[in-house]
Structure 1
Amino acid sequence: MNEAFERAMAAFEPAHLPLAVGFSGGADSTALLAACASAWPGQVIAFHVHHGLQAAADDFERHCAAVCECLGVPLLVHRVDARHAPGDSPEDAARRARYEAFAAMARSDSTLGTVRSIALGHHADDQVETLLLALSRGAGLPGLAAMPAHARRHGLDIHRPLLGVPGAAIREWLRGVDLPWIEDPSNGDERYTRNRIRAVLLPALERSFPQFRTTFARSIGHAAQAQQLLGELAAQDLGAVGDPPRIAGLQALSRARQANVLRHWLMQAHGCAPSAAQLEQLLDQLRACTTRGHRIHLKVGSGHVERQGDRLHWYNFRPSPKASR
């Protein structure tokens, strides 16, 4: 079974060396760190994020330091405040803090030089959990595409070489090389949706559809390919309607293409992801915008979309009345 892990690592080619590995001390990141350190000796550094959310966080850090000493890998630790704001998802808040910490560590002075690539230990079970979470929330193609094997974020090349490897295969490989790992106690807390999926749904899928990891991965790939095509179409349409977009140019497109280009514009230009309800309301306003005096002012994401003249603008604050027309 651990042949799957070895095949995945043999196929892994990081974009740049030296390579950082996101290292929590859990089984997945421990196996990834050990395999990377063996493949590129002297060119791997471990990045550990101390979230400060659990009493055991200091123990996690000490464990990671001991493993890194055993492997001969330097360890960089970054402490963050990952507490979530009211109404925010604790998992999303911790994820954002983690990626920001990775970027900060990559910018810091390293004994190995500038780090531009990081490998993360997400595996096939994590990918299925991400897909099921997206389905449970009614996500569109970006959500159904789950996690990409390679992405760019905060100036870093992010690699996930283990997305085709079941979690059980990773643990089997670790036992074969006699490396210790820690289990995060929060992984058993079924207040978190992802943990309920892991504890209840994955075993049921295993019993009913033993090949579900492979077939789900195929669907994820189809969704990712379709999303890439939509992104390319949105970039073309945005080039035609302008940035910020002209209302008349948007109205010449079908409603589906309007939605696609507006999502693209809001995300690329402003880092804003509208909800389905907000986008539908904006599309309705665009359709109704047939006179010069028609006013558009809608909450979208953390800001507002306003009509100014013949174009739409997005603000993270309400502009002064003099600026609005």
Structure 2
Amino acid sequence: MPVSPEANILNQNLQQAVLTALMASNKPNVLLALSGGLDSMVLLHLLASLRQKAGFCLKIAHVHHGLQAQADDWAAFCQAQADALQLDFQLCRVQLADPARNIEQQARTLRYQALAGLLTPDTVLMTAHHADDQMETVLLALKRGSGLQGLTAIAAQKPFAGTQLLRPLLAFSRTELEQYAKVQQLAFVTDPSNQDDSFDRNFLRQHVLPLLQQRFPTISQTTARSCQLLQQSLEYQQQQLAIGLTPVLRHDQLDLTRLAQLANPARDLLLRHFLNRYDLTPSAEQTREFVQCFLLSETDAQPQLQWGDWQLRRFDGLLYLLDLKAQQQAAEKPAEGAWLAPERLLNWQHWQFLWHSDATKAPDATWSSMPLAVPLAEQIRLTTGQLNQRFKPADSAHSKALKDWCKQWKVPPWRRGSMPFIIARQQNTVIAVPGFASHCTAAQAQSWLHYKADV
């Protein structure tokens, strides 16, 4: 059957979009997330046809959620597509923790976690999101009252799992993908749950988008273009916020006194930018609550907020975020001490340690070092608690209990019990508190402790 000029142009445009994404990533391997639906089958066909021309290795992954009776059939269909093209295939089975609650979000999170586990630094992940997906996401963001970050919707490319996530079809509507699939005679599966309009996205897809597209035929493409422009604005804003954040940090913690001195919108934007480090995206109401609790309260107050798995607290004018899950796990399994072996890396709690005779043997520049006046033949151990133990830093004329040093060093009360310190077995005395002080100067060193806090 002859192919129309329009179909040829669409084919060329689709291929060029995929090639452009591949060239920008500069990676030799591609992992395609294949659901077996129309969109991912179109992307599979495009990638398979471009392999020789672009010189990349293509692999396929299918995530089996087990939510539909046809889930095994879909997995078998994807396996058959990979076999027909002689491609490596990975089947990832995931299980929702609570299938009765927020199914879409749980499935999405588990899907990306599974895919992340298959990636290497030289492999990019590709998904087949298209312009209609983009418009649905924008409408859902508007429903939630999202700001700039939410309205950028789905990014065409972004860092992911140590490499990149690419979505080369975002500029094309579902109608265009259907046209391509028809010309290429592509088989694909259909998920019956897509007809369930109790899900917000399905409601938009079935009842809202058709009306908009009937009145404005190119609205999917123009929405995708708007998202690209918003993404540029967001990238620039993030760059400026990264510059503006430095003056309101102290010891890499948010200095609430300095933050409170800023006028809006800089204050709230910098706050959200800092909290994004912890994957927290506070709403406007939560931001107002934060300002009231942490910036407008008396300096001697001890405000606390709990957002998800994080607890926000203030101490010495700084903001601290406590991981409640990690705290619970630590409480269920109390920390045990650990002996340090010479010249052997030790992972302990949320720290890494290396005890060495050479001051220059820290693994990299992110590590810190402190001198110890004990030879490698001595036995030393890490421990926590026991804050009544006495310690005399090299720069102090007196020894004091660790609990008193904690106050002087302004260690938050909730951290003192888990703060590591080192005891020399022979003297049975505290000889160092990593991150704070050693019992000797560099000139007195007989060995060196290199250390790094992971969190």
Partner residue of 2:30 out of 3, 19, 23: 19
Secondary structure of 2:232's match?
Answer: helix
How far the C-alpha of 1:161 sits from its partner, in A, is 0.4
Identify the residue that residue 155 of structure 2 maps to in structure 1: 148
Structure 1, residues 217-274: CA drift from partner, whole Å, max 9, x if none?
2322232222222212221122111131111210121232221112111121x22222
Identify the residue that residue 211 of structure 1 maps to in structure 2: 218
Q: Is the Cα–Cα contact under 8 Å of residues 65 and 107 in structure 2 kept in the other structure?
A: yes
Structure 1, residues 69-117: CA drift from partner, whole Å, max 9, x if none?
222322111111134476x52111111111111111225xxxxxx7520
Secondary structure of 2:324's match?
Answer: coil
Identify the residue that residue 10 of structure 1 maps to in structure 2: 16
Q: Is the Cα–Cα contact under 8 Å of residues 5 and 162 in structure 1 kept in the other structure?
A: no
Secondary structure of 1:47's match?
Answer: strand
AA aligned opposite 1:73: L
Return the structure number with greater relative CO, CA threshold 8 A, min gap 6: 1
Identify the residue that residue 110 of structure 1 maps to in structure 2: none
Q: In the alignment, does 2:310 pair up with 1:278?
A: no
Q: Is the Cα–Cα contact under 8 Å of residues 35 and 63 in structure 2 kept in the other structure?
A: yes
Q: In the alignment, does 2:136 pair up with 1:129?
A: yes
RMSD: 2.2
Percent identity reads 30
Alignment of structure 1 residues 303-318 onto 2, 5 Å = 303-317=310-324
- Could you tell me how far apart the structure 2 residues matched to 1:212 and 1:274 are? 30
Q: Is the Cα–Cα contact under 8 Å of residues 47 and 102 in structure 1 kept in the other structure?
A: yes
- Could you tell me how far apart the structure 2 residues matched to 1:316 and 1:278 are? 18
Identify the residue that residue 43 of structure 2 maps to in structure 1: 32
Q: Is the Cα–Cα contact under 8 Å of residues 131 and 223 in structure 2 kept in the other structure?
A: no
CA shift in 2, pair 1:275/1:68, >3 Å: same
- Could you tell me how far apart the structure 2 residues matched to 1:21 and 1:6 are? 20
Q: Is the Cα–Cα contact under 8 Å of residues 127 and 146 in structure 1 kept in the other structure?
A: yes
Q: In the alignment, does 2:104 pair up with 1:96?
A: no
Q: Is the Cα–Cα contact under 8 Å of residues 172 and 221 in structure 2 kept in the other structure?
A: no
How far the C-alpha of 1:133 sits from its partner, in A, is 0.8
Unaligned residue ranges in structure 1 (runs of 5+) = 108-113
- Could you tell me how far apart the structure 2 residues matched to 1:181 and 1:23 are? 11
Q: How many residues align?
A: 315
AA aligned opposite 1:95: R
**Superposition TM-score, scaled by structure 1 size:** 0.90
Secondary structure of 2:159's match?
Answer: strand
- Could you tell me how far apart the structure 2 residues matched to 1:123 and 1:164 are? 6
Greater percentage in strand: 2
Secondary structure of 1:36's match?
Answer: helix
Structure 1, residues 128-175: CA drift from partner, whole Å, max 9, x if none?
111111111111111100111101122231100000111111122122
Secondary structure of 1:223's match?
Answer: helix
- Could you tell me how far apart the structure 2 residues matched to 1:29 and 1:36 are? 10
Alignment of structure 1 residues 1-325 onto 2, 5 Å = 2=7, 3-4=9-10, 6-12=12-18, 13-14=21-22, 15=25, 16-41=27-52, 43-84=57-98, 88-106=101-119, 116-242=123-249, 243-268=252-277, 270-289=278-297, 291-317=298-324, 322-323=413-414
Q: Whose radius of gyration is greater, 1 or 2?
A: 2
- Could you tell me how far apart the structure 1 residues matched to 2:267 and 2:15 are? 42
CA shift in 2, pair 1:33/1:115, >3 Å: farther
Secondary structure of 2:305's match?
Answer: strand
AA aligned opposite 2:115: F
AA aligned opposite 2:106: A
Greater percentage in helix: 1
Structure 1, residues 36-81: CA drift from partner, whole Å, max 9, x if none?
1111147111111111111111000111111222223221111111
AA aligned opposite 1:323: W
